[in-house]
Amino acid sequence: MTQAERPVRIGVLAVQGAFAEHIAILREIGVDALPVRLPADLDGLAGLILPGGESTAIRKLIDTWALRQPILELAQRGAPIFGTCAGMILLSVEISDGDAPVFPLLDITVKRNAFGRQLDSFESELSVPVLGDRPVHAIFIRAPIVERVGEGVDVLAQLDDGRVVAVRQGNVIATAFHPELAGETRFHSLVATMAAEYAEPGEGSARRPHPIRRARGN
């Protein structure tokens, strides 16, 4: 167990995609992980993960189950939000193929399926200094790429050719790849640490609301 003495409660959006793998990783590190399918499932959470999957299907199901506004409110209160692959697309303020943003929390522009079809999926070892010296084994499956990074966004990882594949802005983190499919726990541990700080802020600290940005051109 690498998590703090008292487990925090983190939800994983479980309407479509690879949510089970995220739940398994969170439980492995001692987090109380719960699937989120309805707005009521967000009650009492100290963080949320948006998994990979089919971003168009996830977008539709988010609206079908009225999850958009409650998730935005959770992020605005300062709870950490972590998106992988399709989750990165959902969190971006701009999608280059013209789709409207879902949770415009990251001031980035992303391109969907930037590496081609599923047959073009690949794996890579990435340097992610915020997670330590050991490289992160990253699995890319029909992955997006970050085409533009806005002011206030920290780049966490890049491919050898310089393309950005992991970012953080305040309490929001996103990766174009799937750490959960590689058994990589360090991103989840980082989110769990952030969630613990959100759940029990230190003396004199204050939660800063996360701004909701307007999509560029909208």
Asked if residue 209 belongs to a domain, the reply is no
Asked if residue 131 belongs to a domain, the reply is yes
The candidate with the shortest Cα–Cα distance to 31, out of 202, 188, 186, 198, is: 188
Which residue shows structure tokens 């800063």?
Answer: 208
The candidate with the shortest Cα–Cα distance to 25, out of 131, 182, 190, 180, is: 180
Asked if residue 217 belongs to a domain, the reply is no
The enclosing domain of 101 has a CATH number of 3.40.50.880
Give 48: exposed, middle or buried? Use CB within 10 Å, 0-12, 13-18, 19+.
Answer: buried
pTM: 0.90
Tell me, what's the pLDDT at 117?
A: 61
- What does each C-alpha distance from 140 to 10, 85, 143, 144 come to in angstroms? 24, 8, 5, 9
Which residues form the catalytic set? 85, 178, 180
User: Hey, how many other C-beta atoms are within 10 angstroms of the C-beta on 2?
Assistant: 13
The DSSP secondary structure of 3-34, one letter per residue, reads S-SS--EEEEE-SSSSHHHHHHHHHHTT-EEE
Asked if residue 207 belongs to a domain, the reply is no
Asked if residue 188 belongs to a domain, the reply is yes
pLDDT in tens, the chain (218 residues): 444 456 799 999 999 999 999 999 999 999 999 999 999 999 999 999 999 999 999 999 999 999 999 999 999 999 999 999 999 999 999 999 878 999 999 999 999 988 766 546 899 999 999 999 999 999 999 999 999 999 999 999 999 999 999 999 999 999 999 999 999 999 999 999 999 999 987 644 445 555 555 445 43
Q: Considering its fold, how many domains does the chain have in total?
A: 1
Asked if residue 2 belongs to a domain, the reply is no
Tell me, what's the pLDDT at 98?
A: 79
Asked if residue 213 belongs to a domain, the reply is no
- What does each C-alpha distance from 26 to 60, 133, 213 come to in angstroms? 26, 22, 29
Tell me, what's the pLDDT at 97?
A: 82
Asked if residue 26 belongs to a domain, the reply is yes
CA angle 106, 103, 21 (to 5 degrees): 90
- What does each C-alpha distance from 14 to 118, 188, 191 come to in angstroms? 22, 17, 18
Which residue range is the domain that position 81 belongs to?
9-199
User: Hey, how many other C-beta atoms are within 10 angstroms of the C-beta on 44?
Assistant: 10
Q: What is the dihedral of CA 61, 183, 4, 126, to 10 degrees?
A: -100
Q: Rounded CA gap, 25 and 3, in Å?
A: 12
R_g over Cα of the chain = 16
